[in-house]
Amino acid sequence: MVQQKNLSSCIELIYNGADINAKDQNGVTPLHLAVLNDDLDILRSLLFLGADVSIKDNNGKTAMDYIDQNEKYSNDIKEIFSLFEIDKDKVIEIKKPQSSITSSHTQSILKMKTKKEAVLSLDGGGMRGLILIEILLTLEALTGCQINDLFDWISGTSTGSILALSIANGKSLRYVQQAYLRLGHKCFVGSKPYSTELMDSFLKSEFGEDKKMNEVKYPKLIIPAVLTDRKPAMLHIFRNYDAPYEDNYQIKDDKIQQPSLPSDQTMWSSVRNSCSAPVYFRPNDRYIDGGFIANNPTLDTISEIYKYKKYLGNKSEKQAANIRVIVSLGTGQYTLEPAKPIDVHFPSTIWETPEVVGSLKDLVYLILEQVNGRDYHVVDRAQSWCEMTGINYFRFNPLLSNVISLNEIDDRILLGMVCDTRKMIASRLDELCKVANLLLGNE
């Protein structure tokens, strides 16, 4: 498929299990062929999906050794390779646990070393969840540890819930990356709302039909969804731990059904409830997408941790001191654009009607935008709270060149999104290195 320059088929083969580093009789890999065949998109896709750049062919050459043979695109190819490469000097500077240490040992050693907790917050955003994976892959490369060994708490809304549960279940980020692509091409087909049967089947195959939330003990999971069987609708958090404390706003009334306990709540349905974006999917039971209240779940995560530790008997001063770092990851943002002020009123003449209709549309967009808000003031509030309590706070959210819809499955558009993410990673690598050192207890 690389030789035929068929991007979609190439990506489909890989996310369905084909060996991305397969060699032919000459030891040539798909990456070698992409360099020699002038196909920059396939080259990007192979690097995005984890092709090994160090593999040599029978002549002892890596794919990068052939770059100069491609006179037409050599500079472009070098730029693409550099985009997916991490500065080796930066990696060397970070003190990592010994590679021989097992995962469980890594957890205990890191906990003993830091004595403080790390929190990961994952925004919603549909197929833009691939951005989250790209940033987390960088953190794994910098620390030499798996994400589930680095964080004590992981919260995830909507698409972030898929990633959070996958990490907690020990799935590799490369596996989850391929699962995202399978999910998109399988479920985002036809007209909206998309097939709930396909979505449910996918989630059951990934998380098990009967596996309960409390079967995963570490890290602690916070999965926001919205309860719509009451007025006003309310935020609900699916957890993998017992939380006997009462939410101040929860209604205790026999007429209103109470949410299930972690021991009764299946994993797949927790994710499904958090991902039930209206228009895109029919709701599962009485829940809709958590993004309507907590698209960026950082503040709700902080509140939940506060209540949990307060219940355990800790004082507020200790709670703040017990969190070393909060890492908040977004699924892309866009540049600010000028807009006309909104002025909704009854038109005094027929000639004003188009202007008023335009203002009404802008008002609807404003409401939806603020309901799903995850940047600007939302980030400022979380950052201010963390600064007041002495917690290290980091927010990573790439600026995207194009608007990417939740249900985007065009491979070239998704590749462009990933490249935007890699540019952000390169520009903020020093901050990511600081995060890596904090997670390892080096700072």
**Catalytic positions, written as ranges:** 158, 289
- Structural tokens at position 66: 């052939």
Q: How far is CA 242 from each of CA 8, 260, 331, 439, rounded to the nearest angstrom? A: 45, 11, 30, 26
CB 140 within 8 A of CB 209: no
Cis amide leading into 219 (omega within 30) = yes
Pairing of strands 323-329, 392-396: parallel
Find the Cα–Cα–Cα–Cα dihedral 156, 160, 164, 169, rounded to 10°: 140
Residue in the block written with tokens 């998309």: 194
SS (H, E, C) 286-343: CEEECHHHHCCCHHHHHHHHHHHHHHCCCCHHHHHHCEEEEEEECCCECCCCCCCCCC
Nearest residue to 273 (alpha-carbon basis) of 327, 192, 200: 200
Separation CA 293–CA 295 (nearest Å)? 6
Beta bridge partners of residue 224, listed in sequence order:
237
Separation CA 396–CA 131 (nearest Å)? 10
Alpha carbon of residue 145 to chain centroid: 18
CB 327 within 8 A of CB 298: no
Separation CA 276–CA 157 (nearest Å)? 11
Separation CA 58–CA 73 (nearest Å)? 24
Residue in the block written with tokens 């997408």: 289
Nearest residue to 165 (alpha-carbon basis) of 45, 87, 270: 270
3-state SS class at 327: strand
Separation CA 158–CA 270 (nearest Å)? 10
Nearest residue to 431 (alpha-carbon basis) of 117, 131, 139, 134: 139
3-state SS class at 154: strand
The answer for residues whose C-beta is within 8 angstroms of residue 333's C-beta and 6 or more apart is 375, 397, 398, 399, 400
CB 287 within 8 A of CB 158: no
Hey, how many other C-beta atoms are within 10 angstroms of the C-beta on 107?
A: 19
